[in-house]
Chain A
Amino acid sequence: QQPVQSPQAVILREGEDAVINCSSSKALYSVHWYRQKHGEAPIFLMILLKGGEQKGHDKISASFNEKKQQSSLYLTASQLSYSGTYFCGTEGGGGSNYKLTFGKGTLLTVNP
């Protein structure tokens, strides 16, 4: 089943923070986050595995709560380059699946 992302869209000014959420009705083994700019391929940001971990690099981090079947992506001190559509991709089941089901995306616009 397709994960649900919220919000659908968010507009920020440079330097502001944002949180994007991803929820699933099924048990999750892993969650991926990708960013896609208009007309380009999705770019991998990070993967979180079952175990409730948190990851981050630079000013982008994410958490995964397997009990709540939710993941959140945190963007702090946003930059113009952060603009794009963010997708979460979820892997369900016992971890033998390897395929991802993507949400509909969250459009992030960062203005000067």
Chain B
Amino acid sequence: DTGVSQNPRHKITKRGQNVTFRCDPISEHNRLYWYRQTLGQGPEFLTYFQNEAQLEKSRLLSDRFSAERPKGSFSTLEIQRTEQGDSAMYLCASSRTGGRYGYTFGSGTRLTVV
């Protein structure tokens, strides 16, 4: 169990640029979640996958956000035409299926849009 791995750890980008983050979940975990967290707030749900199927996407998410999980393994989260309001910590988590299990979170990618 190597944990959930996220890359990069930090990303600074100029407004209007596109960014892509990667998440490698625990290999036995079929569910993968993306959350966003800003200072002083709890994690806010963005989207989740079961295997390669994206089962739900937050209505708060604009069309500039897209996520994929090809072959049900790693996942990528892309933000197009970044805005200053996108600055946040982006957390990935994974969990087992077949019941109710806790999430294992990655260390996150901190995005700063300047």
Residues of A within 8 A of B (CB): 2, 30, 32, 34, 40-47, 49, 87, 89, 91, 97-105
Contacts and interface: CB of A to CB of B under 8 A. Distances in A.
Contacts of A32: 102-103
Main secondary structure of the interface of A (DSSP, over half): strand
Nearest to A88: B42
Contact of A101 (B45, B55, B102, B106): B45
Contacts of A47: 100-102
Interface of B: 4, 31, 33, 35, 40-45, 48, 50, 55-56, 91, 100-108
B104 A44 contact: yes
A89 B95 CA distance: 14
A45 B102 CA distance: 8
Given A104-B41, A104-B42, A99 B103 contact: no
13 contacts: A32-B103, A42-B43, A42-B103, A42-B105, A44-B103, A47-B100, A87-B42, A89-B103, A98-B55, A99-B48, A100-B33, A102-B35, A102-B42
A99 B56 contact: yes
Contacts of A46: 102
A102 B103 contact: no
The 7 A-B pairs with the shortest beta carbon distances in the complex, nearest first, are A44-B102, A102-B42, A41-B105, A102-B43, A87-B42, A42-B105, A41-B107
